[in-house]
């Protein structure tokens, strides 16, 4: 089964900084593989081929300036038992990108579950809560976002980056 989502995908140096930050945690459960680290912008779910083509076309029209985010906050989702790294403050450019992607999905007749947007990067799933360690902020310069396909396989979930969209 395939599902699709838009994401911010870190480069190698940001992934290494995130991993170093994660070493300060006493993580349990399923630790997120380095190659799968990302921040979901908008989860789209299952898409038809037509919807895939339409959302790629719509996303290509989005105007997104380059911006930066500061990963400086950790948290825990009790319901899903997820330990995450996130942002204390959501930059206006990130909030605007989320809104533009939501409108694009709506124009493509993709039903989105509306909920409060909490940008975060999952460090571990099925984890016990962790004490919030003191972490050094990670500054991430955002120059693009991607459409990702998530595929269930016998080896677990695999991510395939479908299309990269540049920020100006």
Rg (CA), the chain: 16
Mean pLDDT score across all residues of the chain: 91
Chain position carrying tokens 């997120």:
32
Do 151 and 1 meet the contact criterion of CB atoms below 8 Å apart? Answer: yes
Helix (H) or strand (E) holding 56: helix 49-59
pTM of the shown model: 0.93
The SS3 assignment for 15 reads helix
Spatial distance between the Cα atoms of 7 and 72, rounded to a whole number of angstroms:
19
Q: Which domain holds residue 11?
A: 2-166
Distance between CA atoms of residues 54 and 114, nearest Å:
20
Residue 68: per-residue pLDDT: 97
pLDDT band for position 22 (cuts 50, 70, 90): low
**Domain tally for the chain?**
1
Relative to beta strand 2-8, strand 39-45 is antiparallel
- Report the alpha-carbon distance of residue 88 to residue 49 in Å, rounded: 37
Nearest residue to 145 via CA among 91, 33, 54, 65:
65
Q: Kindly state the helix (H) or strand (E) to which residue 133 belongs, with its residue range.
A: none
Distance from C-alpha of 82 to C-alpha of 126, rounded to nearest angstrom: 6
Among 52-61, 72-81, 127-136, whose mean pLDDT is lowest? 127-136
Could you tell me the CATH number of the domain that includes residue 48? 3.90.1140.10
Phi, psi torsion values for 167, nearest 5 degrees: -95, 150
Say whether pLDDT at 153 is over 90.
no
CA distance 168 to 146: 14
Model pLDDT, residue 1: 67
């Amino acid at each position: 089964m395939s599902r699709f989502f838009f994401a911010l995908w870190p480069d190698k140096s940001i992934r290494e900084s995130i991993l170093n930050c994660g070493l300060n945690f006493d993580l349990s459960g399923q630790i997120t593989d380095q190659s799968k680290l990302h921040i979901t912008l908008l989860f789209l779910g299952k898409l038809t081929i037509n919807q895939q083509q339409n959302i790629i076309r719509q996303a290509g029209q989005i105007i997104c300036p380059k911006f930066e985010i500061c990963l400086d906050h950790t948290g825990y989702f009790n319901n899903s038992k997820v330990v995450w790294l996130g942002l204390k403050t959501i930059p206006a450019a990130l909030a605007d990108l989320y809104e533009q992607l939501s409108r694009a999905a709506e124009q493509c007749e993709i039903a989105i579950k509306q909920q409060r947007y909490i940008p975060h990067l999952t460090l571990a799933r099925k984890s016990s809560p962790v004490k919030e360690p003191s972490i050094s902020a990670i500054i991430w310069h955002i120059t693009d976002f991607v459409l990702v396909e998530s595929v269930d396989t016998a080896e677990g979930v695999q991510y395939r980056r479908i299309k990269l969209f540049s920020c100006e």
